[in-house]
Structure 1
Amino acid sequence: MPGLKISVITVSYNAERTIERCIQSVISQNYKDIGYIIIDGGSTDGTVPIIEKYKKHIQFLVSEPDRGIYDAMNKGIALAQGDVIGILNADDFFADDHVLSDIATAFTNHNTDIVYGDLDYIKLDGSVSRKWRTGQYKKGMFNHGWMPPHPAFYCKRELFNKFGNYSLDFGTAADYELMLRFIHLNHLSVYYVQRVLVKMSIGGVSNSGISNRIKALFFDVKAMYINKILFPPITLIFKPLRKLKQFF
């Protein structure tokens, strides 16, 4: 809707294989009031030259070492000037050209703090391997392992000023912790757009290797305790069980 500016932040590092697809999905949106920010971690491959091909579409480009993906996201948030902020990482892309217009309409028509939708995991050949269908949020659902997909999560910029940015104390669970803090702990209003907003390449740091998976579970539990989940050990069991239906 006119008058609502959306800041989209892309975080990249050595992403020459996927960054162009990501950028093209942003600049092809039929919603044009976008502030596009790319925070690159100092890539040593062809990522930055690819990004620079599209510099006329990019409001801010930073390429320098950082302390990880969530530190890079926080850098983007500090630069963002939009009314609403969302993250679209270099391996991900919008499902179609109408995603941001639908998000803007949801914020405008429903006077909400947060908008989220669904996500597809895709293989290298572009076929869908998993379908994350989130469903409408109801108070207390985080206690039962529910969470929205972070790449399909958009919120008002003012929320970061009021409730804080991504905390680096939670490792790979920093996005989960922030959504817990915003929705479960502080009871901010949410609206569910019932459709796929983002397609996400399979893989990810938290899921690569047993040691990383154990670390991710530790950070999940830490996030649950600090944000007052009722029974974190039980929630820790429910959380992966909820993912099983994504495969069917």
Structure 2
Amino acid sequence: MKISVITTSFNSAGTIRDTLDSVAMQTYPDIEHIIIDNQSTDDTLAIVAAYPHIAKVVSEKDNGIYYGMNKGLELATGDIVCFLNSDDWYAHKNVLQTVAEAFLKLGTDVVYGDLQYVDKIKTGKIKRTWRSGKFNPKKMFYGWMPPHPAFFALKKVYDKTGGYNTGFRSAADYEIMLRILILHQFSAGYVPDILVKMRAGGYSNATINNRVKANNEDARAWAVNGLKPHFLFRYLKPLRKIPQFIFR
């Protein structure tokens, strides 16, 4: 099974080496790494050019990360598709091997695992650990979700459900997982392993105002799919993050 790893980038020279190194070191033999760059003006593309494992590079102006992800989906030829942002990296060299084996063993349409947030500068310092737990679709109605960077789906899933909704600013990743797992009811299996490390931060968590906007987008993700979560969803979703800081 070929795995397509899609990385979007924009002026990512300070972080993308970690991303590229983590893919290059994977023990799994059949990987297609696709880079979708939003016309970076720093050394991002020069760094990318130094990695011979990369299968495809596109650098052209677009309207944001979700547009780039959709471009990657169009180019992907793998049986499995995943997204690894240019400031994230795989936690160990056997991540993709573990994921491929899980697809074969579990026979599911989706496989997901755990994610660890680390300090932006001191990346060995753990900020919080997102342990997803076993899949139960009912949990999503109460604010549960899998971590998008540790979310792997068969290409046929995206072929049926479509790409990322670019009408969202920060929640298109949440919306597409909701669409896949709840609206279309594709099966999912859990790998109890930290698969991805991510630098802490990001738009939706940068300020309280941004968090409120992101929470509103999360609610809209249900509405655009004609779905309705539990009435306490807006409160339960952020509350689920608290144990991630305690049990690191």
Paired letter, 1:19:
I
Paired letter, 1:178:
I
Gaps of 5+ in 2: none
* SS of alignment partner, residue 188 of structure 1: coil
Paired letter, 1:118:
D
Task: Please point out which of 206, 218, 221 is paired with 1:220.
Answer: 218
Contact 1:14 1:46 in 2 (8 A): yes
Gaps of 5+ in 1: none
Q: CA-atom RMSD, angstroms?
A: 1.2
Q: 1:209, 1:219 → 2: CA distance?
A: 15
Per the TM alignment, residue 233 of structure 1 is displaced from its structure 2 partner at its CA by: 4.5
1:6 corresponds in structure 2 to 3
The TM-score, its normalising length taken from structure 1, stands at: 0.95
Per the TM alignment, residue 215 of structure 1 is displaced from its structure 2 partner at its CA by: 2.4
The structure whose residues are more often helix, as a share, is: 1
Q: 1:11, 1:100 → 2: CA distance?
A: 19
Per the TM alignment, residue 229 of structure 1 is displaced from its structure 2 partner at its CA by: 4.3
Which residues of 2 match residues 77-226 of structure 1 at below 5 A? 77-123=73-119, 124-126=121-123, 127-226=125-224
Contact 1:114 1:188 in 2 (8 A): yes
Contact 1:119 1:132 in 2 (8 A): yes
Paired letter, 1:20:
R
2:67 corresponds in structure 1 to 71
Paired letter, 1:152:
A
Contact 2:142 2:230 in 1 (8 A): no
Change (3 A) 1:20 1:241: same
1:46 corresponds in structure 2 to 43
Q: Structure 1 residues 158-167 or 193-202, which shifts more?
A: 158-167
Aligned length: 244
Q: 1:52, 1:93 → 2: CA distance?
A: 18
* SS of alignment partner, residue 220 of structure 1: helix
Per the TM alignment, residue 99 of structure 1 is displaced from its structure 2 partner at its CA by: 0.1
Percent identity, please.
46
**TM-superposition CA deviations, 1:182-201 (whole Å, max 9, x none):** 00121110000001000000
Q: 1:215, 1:13 → 2: CA distance?
A: 23
2:233 corresponds in structure 1 to 235
Q: 2:170, 2:37 → 1: CA distance?
A: 18
Change (3 A) 1:100 1:236: same
